[in-house]
Structure 1
Amino acid sequence: MAKKVITGIPVSSGIAIGKAFFMNRRLYGAIPRQSIAQDLVESEAERLRQAVDCAISDLVAVREDLPKELSDHALLIDSHITILRDPKLSKSVVKYITTMQINAEWALLKAIKDTEETFAAIKDDYIRERIQDVRLMADRVLSKLMGLSSGLTAIEGRIILLAHDLAPSDTAGLEVDKIMAFSTTEGGKTSHTGILARTLQIPAIVGVSGLEDNITDGEFIIIDALKGRILVEPSEEELAHYTELQNRFETYQKSIHRNCHLPGETIDGFRVAVHSNIELFEEVAAVLDYGGEGIGLFRTEYSYMNRPSLPTEEELYEEYKELAEIMDGKKVTYRTLDLGSDKLLSQHAQISERNPALGLRSIRFCLQHKDMFKTQLRAILRAAVHGNCAMMYPMISGLRELREANKVLFEVKQDLRRDGLHFAENIPVGIMVELPSAVMTAELLAREVDFFSIGTNDLIQYSLGIDRTNKDVSYLYQPLHPAVLRSIKMVVDAAHQSGIEVSLCGEVASDPFCVPILLGMQIDSLSMNPQAIPGIKRIIRQTTMDECKTLLRRILDCRTVMKINRLVMDSIFTRFPEELTFYSSLLDLDDMV
């Protein structure tokens, strides 16, 4: 048996076997905590400013000298520079230096702790995990304050890179062909480490508790990024098992990648568009490489995060325009801002709500801040002339909100005409169906939009009344719950009866146990993370609509989640044993039954 086995969150699938190499172990345990005299307060504040300036200079230099493999990550480095330049954090640190008369390192720790507490209250996974960016930049400043090098020593041979956290700027000087895998203490499914690993197409596990305490440089380890496990000093039997599993997985990946650019079409000719969800330009390369036929959901929130002021219309226009042009005729669907008081848009951070998930967020937030909403709509409309573009509103609860949003869109179009600016007059406009009220009024909503996009992550949570990030109730998060399946079918049927298309995004779209059921409902398109596309396409191409419709009928006759899960396991796993061998390792099959 291995000396130790530690676990984390797999964010880029695969197996890696090799020696551990650590960089930037957490500094916080060794940080000096000192009181200072009143006459040293100003010099300590100046020391902080100099450390921040040096950290910014380092990042600017890294950005200008990015290796070809990481050139797409310039935008991430820009966002980190923006964090360092944000006066709020520096002011908070200086306040601690001044009022408590403590050294800059200690003051920085206190300011970061305040920021962490604020982020911890955020419901949205993606936004909450952006605290990792702030921590990364704090580490850079701490390194400067403590006179430590933030770079990497030369690497000899291929290694598995371990770190407290990673940013593209950290790895810019590396020979990426020497990195077999990543693993970090910090991070979640949407962290930049995962995006970086998927871009480089190497295994990665993040959020590993005890990573720095349980592994030392040079130890032989196995990264199992299928199940999210790290084996330290594995036994001969474990090494043999994982070597064989690694070979099988790599062979399977090559086989599905070979045909990933073929259409998602069943044996009997039913065509399903397979798109991708992204939030950063850095992911576009993966969308195209893995056979994505378009972008079914571009999350626009990132442009508003980690900055002291709102983005201008021109900034947004250039960003959206570039994305449309890069996709070169493939569809791009921009989701309008899904922000709220729980997502820390700095200009509105003073808003406090007891239950942000049910409060002023998404389209509600935009309709209360129409100037900001109009700026984004103007940018989308102008950019849409440069490609095959659509837009959709999030969290629509009924006709009133839809009509209010469309009224703002109408006013924006009038303004653009008056300004003499070229824009997409007839851009398709859809809505995210993610609330039970939208499901129940889908027939009415379908008459006033061009398409639906079912957001299953929120729909499941709102329908079942659970927070899947809450460990005490996460077991109730069941994608195949009868209420969820009936809701999805109701929306699909309402859309088709009105002659509009319906797509589905969220984790359900990339779940191979759900895809045949969705095909049976005759869903028009699926949108998922880029890495999932080849495997899902292969499943689509190996089935028939008759099979899928028969399965759907049998499932709709089931009354309980347990019976549905058992039926799905018995039928789909048996039907696609090779495809699900690796997918099933990502799931807890005991939970399904």
Structure 2
Amino acid sequence: MARPSLVEPFADLSAADTALVGGKNAALGELIANLTPHGIRVPDGFATTTAAYRELLDTGDLRARIGRRIEALHEGAGLAETGAAIRGMILATELPPRLVDAVTTAYTALGERLGRTDPDVAVRSSATAEDLPEASFAGQQESFLNITGARALLDACLRCYASLFTDRAINYREHHGFDHLRVALSVGVQQMVRADRAGAGVMFSLDTDSGFPRVVLVNAAWGLGESVVSGAVDPDEYLVFKPLVDEAGANPVIAKETGGKQSKVVSRTTGAEPTVSVPTTEDERAGLVLTDSEIRQLARWAVRVERHYDTPMDMEWAKDGDTGELHLVQARPETVQTRRRPSTLRSYRLTGTGHAAPLVTGLAIGEAIAAGTACVLRSAAEIDRFVDGAVLVTGTTDPDWEPVMKRAAALVTDHGGRTSHAAIVSRELGLGAVVGTGDATGRIPDGRAITVSCAEGERGVVYPGTLDFEEREIELTDIPTTRTRLMLTMADPGAALRWWRLPADGVGLARMEFVINNHIRVHPMALVHPERTDAGTRERIAALTRGYRDRTEFFVDRLAYGIARIAAAWWPAPVVVRTSDFKTNEYARLLGGAPFEPAEQNPMLGWRGASRYHDDGYREGFALECRALRRVRDEMGLTNTVVMIPFCRTLTEADRVLETLADHGLRRGANGLAVYVMVEIPANVLLADDFARRFDGFSIGSNDLTQLTLGVDRDSERLAGLFDERDPAVVRSIRTVIEAAHRHGREVGLCGQRPSDDPEFARLLVDAGIDSVSVAPDSFLRVKNTIAAGERRAPEGDPDAADPVARPR
């Protein structure tokens, strides 16, 4: 009988060969056979088989000696002592001659196919899935990059075999009850992509934190991909909207964040190790690793790989600095979000008020909130100091930290992105984490009580002290269907993807000013006319807009990405984006804003909303808002974005605003553009028919409408008892607008807090025939049930109340 093969070329492997060459190597064979014909580049190579590993164990009584060491571990021997002893045994063993010949021959053949002698290769471990499902934890075995020559390759193979018995791997198998000697390991040998001269990273075919399935998440850093996977650097982060990735003329890159990229791993020509980490230059830190066309190319590859496997995928990519070509170097099924119950949504929120200023902020991993005592560890050598239930605060993590992470209440790191080891393992453990804070280990005192919040959008926050919070679980299968559409009010783009599972009918109000205030922070006119600001302000603006030659492009980019993230989360349902509605005192607080804003006695009734957009004092700033909206709709392709104008006082002002929009390429009706108007002023009610002839829909702002109808300052404590959206004058105004809107076939909705707090007000809106109500996501379930109850009690004989088709849409 023929002896089993010890080496197999990737081209001869498929997903069915997991037992032969492990999950990683089987996936590479599957990619080469099925996806390279579609233009996806996968570097050539070969894999040792599990038969090769077992032949090694049969050399020099190695299997029996390892077995005795494992028995000693079970009898009380130390983990570190056991691991070091077994690794020493393997490293001291000569590879079997037949395996040496097989690897050398395959390496020579690879060089011939590549047209070079002694090609550079990457050497990676690949465990068999039935024995060690490495999808459960990141980085169980070692990888070695930039290996050159047969002797170095054979040494790297032996080191891969030894890495099956690192302390963390032994501990993992002990914890899960795996038989150490039944685990088999394959070694993958793959053509080295010269990413050390360009960049590399990781991508997922879904959003790793929310599970949102319609985006590709790409992380990128300079140099070899090891720095991204390990979390040693804060990488660039890009989001691509999958439904439009193949749309002609569309550029569906909906988010780009420049990471710190403090260092990079490159090849070295001297020294014991073939790679070394070196600091990046200032230009490298400020610049993006990938162009938009490269980001889109990777996203198209991710979509094709996902379609082939019919499951969300976790992939590694690399760019060759010599050829400029992108390559896919690994692919495996994503294992965290795909295990979650799709019908359940867990929600957290802080319930206390008056929080102290945050100690640090970073990327939020997961959506949980946790509190505990900070345990600041600067290296794995201090792990013994960790106390169960504490918050682990450290620079970065690798697999050696996993036993501690399992015992932590939450995790905070100085460095790392969404695809770093810390992020991946935190998600798998269901552990809230804030990564890439910059200096958590220096700013969080050891032993201090802290609260880690990942429930406030894409930015995670670490607060001093123990704060109160609540945790809710929403069963999505219990949410009733209603004919009155229930939409969401959204401010933070970072939180949009979190709520995608809610069966909302779109977004009835997306507040542009939140994006400006939190993600841009600069007054748009200060970017257009920096000469009108002082030297200190110009210096701060220059730091904030680093990497942008045109400072106004910073504003347009940030605003467009913020809007796009919300529009993508609810595509193709409508997302109504209100143009900026700061008051003058709020605009003045933006960086550089004071020179452009007058001091007003009553900003609530002052220069706000529509009156600004055609005014010489803000016309150029509004042009930037329009550029961002056009980019979202016409370039990214998110045509579900609806524009809404706030605080439009007169018909003349309405006409001028619509002309201004058209001058900036946002002509009503062009490319399906709908333009809505807010109903906040009695004039909007009295002239509702005239406004309906000019706009495509209405959104009632109940707070301002109540204030101006009753003449009550909504912020006055003394008059608080008079401020009531259910006052007959306000209710009649709402009914008047709804009737006028429907006479002209226009949509009318209401956005405000009152339907969330007052079920009777929500029923009143239903009875009045409102088309939609918009509420905060955490109120969705409560209001949906209220609306359903209101619809069930619709008056008999009222066809409009009972028939969803009876009212014009």
TM-score, with length taken from structure 1: 0.51
Q: Which runs of 5+ in 1 are unaligned?
A: 1-59, 67-71, 79-130, 141-149, 162-167, 181-192, 207-211, 226-249, 266-270, 417-422, 552-593
State the secondary structure of the residue aligned to 1:293.
coil
Q: Could you tell me which residue of structure 1 aligns to residue 748 of structure 2?
A: 502
Note closer, same or farther for the CA distance 1:355–1:299 as it changes in structure 2 (3 Å cut): same
State the secondary structure of the residue aligned to 2:665.
helix
State the secondary structure of the residue aligned to 1:544.
helix
Note closer, same or farther for the CA distance 1:75–1:327 as it changes in structure 2 (3 Å cut): farther
Q: Could you tell me which residue of structure 2 aligns to residue 446 of structure 1?
A: 692
Deviations 1:224-278 (A, max 9, x none): 86xxxxxxxxxxxxxxxxxxxxxxxx8xx65653334x54x1xxxxx11111111
Q: Could you tell me which residue of structure 2 aligns to residue 398 of structure 1?
A: 650
1:297 aligns with 2:530: no
How far has the Cα of 1:151 moved from its partner?
7.1
1:370 aligns with 2:658: no
Aligned-partner residue type, residue 370 of structure 1: R
Q: Is the 8 A contact 1:452 1:502 kept in 2?
A: yes
Note closer, same or farther for the CA distance 1:424–1:75 as it changes in structure 2 (3 Å cut): farther
Q: 1:277 aligns with which of 466, 485, 489?
A: 489
Q: How does 1:293-372 map to 2 (within 5 A)?
A: 293-305=505-517, 306-307=521-522, 309-310=526-527, 311-312=552-553, 313-343=556-586, 344=588, 345-350=590-595, 351-368=598-615, 369-372=618-621
**Partners of 2:774 and 2:683 in 1: CA distance:** 23
Q: How does 1:404-423 map to 2 (within 5 A)?
A: 404-413=656-665
Off by >4 Å, runs of 4+ in structure 1: 60-66, 72-78, 135-140, 150-161, 168-180, 193-196, 253-256, 308-311, 548-551
Q: How does 1:378-527 map to 2 (within 5 A)?
A: 378-384=627-633, 385-413=637-665, 425-511=671-757, 512-527=759-774
**Partners of 1:464 and 1:499 in 2: CA distance:** 29
**Partners of 1:549 and 1:169 in 2: CA distance:** 61
State the secondary structure of the residue aligned to 1:547.
coil
The alignment of Structure 1 onto Structure 2 pairs a total of residues equal to: 357
Note closer, same or farther for the CA distance 1:75–1:280 as it changes in structure 2 (3 Å cut): farther
Q: Is the 8 A contact 1:325 1:386 kept in 2?
A: yes
Aligned-partner residue type, residue 622 of structure 2: F
**Partners of 2:493 and 2:413 in 1: CA distance:** 16
Q: Which moved more, 1:346-355 or 1:516-525?
A: 346-355
Aligned-partner residue type, residue 491 of structure 2: E
Q: 2:781 aligns with which of 529, 534, 552?
A: 534
Q: Could you tell me which residue of structure 2 aligns to residue 230 of structure 1?
A: none
Q: Could you tell me which residue of structure 2 aligns to residue 259 of structure 1?
A: 478
1:197 aligns with 2:446: no
Aligned-partner residue type, residue 275 of structure 1: M
Note closer, same or farther for the CA distance 1:156–1:375 as it changes in structure 2 (3 Å cut): same
Aligned-partner residue type, residue 412 of structure 1: H
Q: Could you tell me which residue of structure 1 aligns to residue 42 of structure 2?
A: none
Name the % identity. Answer: 26
State the secondary structure of the residue aligned to 2:500.
helix
How far has the Cα of 1:440 moved from its partner?
1.6
Q: Could you tell me which residue of structure 1 aligns to residue 160 of structure 2?
A: none
State the secondary structure of the residue aligned to 2:580.
coil
How far has the Cα of 1:375 moved from its partner?
2.1
TM-score, with length taken from structure 2: 0.38
**Partners of 2:679 and 2:567 in 1: CA distance:** 24
How far has the Cα of 1:63 moved from its partner?
5.9
Q: Is the 8 A contact 2:489 2:774 kept in 1?
A: yes
State the secondary structure of the residue aligned to 2:673.
coil
CA RMSD of aligned residues (A): 4.8
Q: Is the 8 A contact 1:256 1:534 kept in 2?
A: no
Deviations 1:335-361 (A, max 9, x none): 111123121344432421111111111
Q: How does 1:234-245 map to 2 (within 5 A)?
A: none
**Partners of 1:449 and 1:137 in 2: CA distance:** 46
Note closer, same or farther for the CA distance 1:479–1:160 as it changes in structure 2 (3 Å cut): farther
Q: Is the 8 A contact 1:63 1:74 kept in 2?
A: no
How far has the Cα of 1:448 moved from its partner?
1.2
Which has the bigger relative contact order, CA under 8 A and spacing at least 6?
1
Q: Which runs of 5+ in 2 are unaligned?
A: 1-230, 238-253, 261-353, 363-372, 378-385, 393-411, 417-421, 434-450, 528-551, 799-809
Q: Could you tell me which residue of structure 2 aligns to residue 245 of structure 1?
A: none
How far has the Cα of 1:132 moved from its partner?
8.6
Aligned-partner residue type, residue 381 of structure 1: R
How far has the Cα of 1:397 moved from its partner?
1.4
**Partners of 1:358 and 1:76 in 2: CA distance:** 39
Note closer, same or farther for the CA distance 1:199–1:319 as it changes in structure 2 (3 Å cut): closer
Radius of gyration: which is bigger? 2
Q: Could you tell me which residue of structure 1 aligns to residue 169 of structure 2?
A: none
How far has the Cα of 1:287 moved from its partner?
3.0
Note closer, same or farther for the CA distance 1:280–1:199 as it changes in structure 2 (3 Å cut): closer
Note closer, same or farther for the CA distance 1:139–1:288 as it changes in structure 2 (3 Å cut): closer
**Partners of 2:755 and 2:657 in 1: CA distance:** 27
**Partners of 2:236 and 2:374 in 1: CA distance:** 14
Q: 1:544 aligns with which of 791, 795, 798?
A: 791
Aligned-partner residue type, residue 382 of structure 1: R
Aligned-partner residue type, residue 379 of structure 1: A
How far has the Cα of 1:75 moved from its partner?
7.7
State the secondary structure of the residue aligned to 2:672.
coil
Aligned-partner residue type, residue 258 of structure 1: T
How far has the Cα of 1:386 moved from its partner?
2.1
Q: Which moved more, 1:473-482 or 1:491-500?
A: 473-482
Q: Is the 8 A contact 2:766 2:791 kept in 1?
A: no
Deviations 1:96-153 (A, max 9, x none): xxxxxxxxxxxxxxxxxxxxxxxxxxxxxxxxxxx999x548999xxxxxxxxx9764
State the secondary structure of the residue aligned to 1:513.
helix
State the secondary structure of the residue aligned to 1:352.
coil
More helix by share: 1
Q: Is the 8 A contact 1:159 1:178 kept in 2?
A: no
Q: How does 1:90-239 map to 2 (within 5 A)?
A: 136=358, 153=376, 196-197=454-455, 223=468
Aligned-partner residue type, residue 197 of structure 1: A
Note closer, same or farther for the CA distance 1:355–1:330 as it changes in structure 2 (3 Å cut): same
Q: Which moved more, 1:286-295 or 1:499-508?
A: 286-295
State the secondary structure of the residue aligned to 1:290.
coil
